[in-house]
Structure 1
């Protein structure tokens, strides 16, 4: 045994749901070499043979495989730091004041970009361009909402995009209007958002690289060492490859290239070429094995696709991004190229459409290890719940959303009604059905800290502990199974078991991707978990974060 050996001892080492804990783990050359008594024996033998073994006394701390994030947007999250800090604002007035402050401090910027504001701060999420005009009348301002499906812009941005009262709603988008017919300043979904983004300047590459590094720092401090970037545009691939070439990739990433129904036939050859570019780079922390489809929008905008109409009936059944057989045909084509398919599906109609598309791909292309993913699965019809396990579909769920917060009570429940609302986020039911559950955050849409998500998964209550006993308590997830969804569950989604050094579990031969928590999360009240310090994060046996 060489000098790159480290024994972590005198703690609680969690080896997986239903498996016994041990008190020590031995790391050698970035891999796990022994557990428990065997770790001690090997360390002593190495010392006796004259090899150096670094011994780290855990002092009773808890060790687990590091977390993964099965669905997130790290570049978006990192770029939020480069604009006005609107996420923490608790009123429209605070947002406007923050945008004004930022604009005055940055007179050199031709456009002001920011994210992400709370859509529940205005009735029905309808924000007026004139409110932002008070802060910045002379330059375009573009703010993304928390859902990242909506932007709020000022009048200068509307003018730059040529949006007037006579501009029709684009395909896959909505331009909201005031009572007098003038555009309000809220643009919903890609078709409308693209009207702005197509005329906006591209963010500088160095700014994007710094954003990726900032996202990495954010994640490593929270124990996350692998992230599924679930919305990658062509320029983003270039950013990741440049980061890889410059050794600026702080953790493991898989890229999911965004499929657009308006131009998919032309996109697919480029997806193949970009996957080959990433493979040719041979960077151990970067893959591009996935294609991302949006089947629908979000409930808060009434664009999530539902089997039954919205209670308000304002948009009836919502929006199907790929109508008819389009999604099925595109998924079959992408699957034939060997890509993993990752589908955003919020409403029960979208979930069914995604499941039908996967079923068609299996029939058309034959058996293989696909591990298709449905992200969010906010609402699932009873008839479709068992199809996840039957088709080998991974539900990548965002446990933080399974609570009765303002987003739920103000925007979601009134649109779905009580009965459907109580069928949301069936985490435990999916796991009990045999589906391979994984967890993700959708950061920066919501917190990227797995401890926040675990607290909700294990309680179904808000941070104030409401409602007592949990909302839909039958969907509360056992602590060990919740930990597994954020570790081995994400690793399964990532095909980590196909690697020379698998990760996602504390097992001999696996990569030493670990976290050290001050306390055992299984023994805490769920809402104490976010305050449980992450003492260290290991990536391939190296400490990449240590509490200061």
Structure 2
């Protein structure tokens, strides 16, 4: 089967053409040579723009898909709205043993601290567990605290925080895995059919936005089972690469299972599913002061519910891997042939991640490893050039580089203006020669690449603030922004010869837009319509007419 795409602009990733011929899922020719080829059908682009489909270098598709199965709190603009939505869902689902939802706006309560009693007003007789949009924080009701055995006299667990009220009672907000796992460990598992359906929901979401490959950046053993089951049922419908989660508390046992889990994925035999990566968290997030910083947070104290503490070192955030343990764990993962993928938000975490990769290179020798540091929100000047020098891919979330409520209410007050103005240094990194790739972190934030690209090329909010852009020297040119969401993600995926560019021999992974993003005003980019998304030449998404 051969298809000619004509009557539009074809952007190959490096230049433009006016026609594209695809045969049996592979790009055959461009321009006049494409028109001279034998085509069974012609797609009239109607003056639109055809380009390589997007890849998402860091997201959480299973979590995102599962959000649709619980109370819809994502769009709620106040605590009262969230409570009302939880009450509605609970009333309509009386047989749900636990009410589980995501992901609420953490800036809706002072300091991101939410009280269990607010959720008690919605549901008193069943546990309620909501994730914040950072996915590092839970907000739970009182019965959920009771089921998890969390009491006011408990010390903070390893790698976690349990904020308290001024009277010493537990507030209801739980930060980081050491605390959230106390609840997760007593929650019933989701039905497997619901989880497989969630992957379908995620595929629908991404394909409608022109995305055909996603790095799932946090996969645990049960998730591997779900992906394999979905693959065996033919339910994936797009490309996924899995990154196995590395937990510093359990790494010695986990690392013995990674290779066998990878083998199971390979044996599933799906061309859409790979498992080549291991994911580390070096720190938390700035918004709840668990991002690891070289200098203290501005308060000099660490917010802990209604109280303030001044424990030694706590004001620098949370380092999840102590000493050289991250470097040694990364070395062991690298020896197994896995790609290293490290979440690092604060400048101390970024330095630790770079040090770990440098250690791996020194001990395991040269190879094409393409390690990834995700987010890289704050990078010390001394570490900027180390990304390119070590071959580290900065996978950044361009949508976050704006002065929205998250930034103004939670982030800047914690970092201070001087440090805040050094966030998301995408253009600076790119100018050093680092292979800048983009991702969304969906469902933490929008998974639409055009939403992120709009910010990357303007550093402005959807309302246009500030005029001229926030830290305008970090604006990324439109062609580079498009490449960071296409060819650069393909490079991150070790797939640069398979997809990410429109060249003869490459897979016909395409997105058809109704307008040209290279000539569209930045604030209008999110309004460009995806007319169709193609995977291996097959139309995987078609917009309604």
Task: State the TM bucket, normalised to the shorter chain.
Answer: over 0.9
SS of equivalent residue, structure 1 residue 496:
coil
User: What is the 5 A alignment of 1:124-163?
Assistant: 124-163=111-150
Partner of 1:14: 11
Query: Is the aligned partner of 1:24 residue 2:19?
Result: yes
Alpha-carbon separation, structure 1, partners of 2:65 and 2:267: 26
- What is the CA-CA distance between 1:281 and the residue it aligns to? 1.5
SS of equivalent residue, structure 1 residue 289:
strand
- What is the CA-CA distance between 1:40 and the residue it aligns to? 1.3
TM-score between the two structures when normalised by the length of structure 1: 0.96
- What is the CA-CA distance between 1:350 and the residue it aligns to? 0.4
Query: Is the aligned partner of 1:527 residue 2:514?
Result: no
SS of equivalent residue, structure 2 residue 162:
strand
TM-score between the two structures when normalised by the length of structure 2: 0.97
Whether the aligned pair in 1 keeps the contact of 2:487 and 2:496 (CA below 8 Å) is no
- What is the CA-CA distance between 1:168 and the residue it aligns to? 1.5
- What is the CA-CA distance between 1:269 and the residue it aligns to? 1.3
Partner of 2:155: 168
Alpha-carbon separation, structure 1, partners of 2:360 and 2:453: 33
| Structure 1 residues 350-389: Cα deviation after superposition (integer angstroms, max 9, x where no partner) | 0010001001111111111100000000000011001100
SS of equivalent residue, structure 1 residue 543:
strand
Alpha-carbon separation, structure 2, partners of 1:177 and 1:372: 39
| Structure 1 residues 391-450: Cα deviation after superposition (integer angstroms, max 9, x where no partner) | 000000000000000000000000000000000000111111100010000000000000
Residue correspondences, number: 532
Partner of 1:431: 430
Whether the aligned pair in 1 keeps the contact of 2:152 and 2:169 (CA below 8 Å) is yes
- What is the CA-CA distance between 1:11 and the residue it aligns to? 0.7
| Structure 1 residues 154-204: Cα deviation after superposition (integer angstroms, max 9, x where no partner) | 000000001111121110000010011000000000000000000010111
SS of equivalent residue, structure 2 residue 171:
strand
SS of equivalent residue, structure 1 residue 303:
coil
Aligned mate of 2:34, from 32, 39, 48: 39
Which consecutive unaligned segments of at least 5 residues does structure 1 have? 47-51
| Structure 1 residues 500-525: Cα deviation after superposition (integer angstroms, max 9, x where no partner) | xx011101100000000000001111
Alpha-carbon separation, structure 1, partners of 2:163 and 2:437: 36
Alpha-carbon separation, structure 2, partners of 1:21 and 1:525: 19
Aligned mate of 2:501, from 505, 512, 526: 505
Partner of 1:291: 278
Partner of 2:382: 383
Partner of 1:481: 480
SS of equivalent residue, structure 2 residue 248:
coil
- What is the CA-CA distance between 1:66 and the residue it aligns to? 0.1
Alpha-carbon separation, structure 1, partners of 2:321 and 2:128: 30
Partner of 1:492: 491
Which portions of structure 1, spanning 4 or more consecutive aligned residues, are displaced by more than 3 angstroms? none
Aligned mate of 2:94, from 107, 115, 131: 107
Partner of 1:266: 253
- What is the CA-CA distance between 1:497 and the residue it aligns to? 3.1
Alpha-carbon separation, structure 2, partners of 1:55 and 1:177: 64
Note the aligned Cα RMSD (angstroms). Answer: 0.7
- What is the CA-CA distance between 1:256 and the residue it aligns to? 0.2
User: What is the 5 A alignment of 1:191-270?
Assistant: 191-270=178-257
Alpha-carbon separation, structure 1, partners of 2:231 and 2:196: 10
314-323 vs 419-428, which moves further: 314-323
- What is the CA-CA distance between 1:59 and the residue it aligns to? 1.6
Whether the aligned pair in 1 keeps the contact of 2:208 and 2:530 (CA below 8 Å) is yes
Alpha-carbon separation, structure 2, partners of 1:103 and 1:309: 42
Which consecutive unaligned segments of at least 5 residues does structure 2 have? 303-313
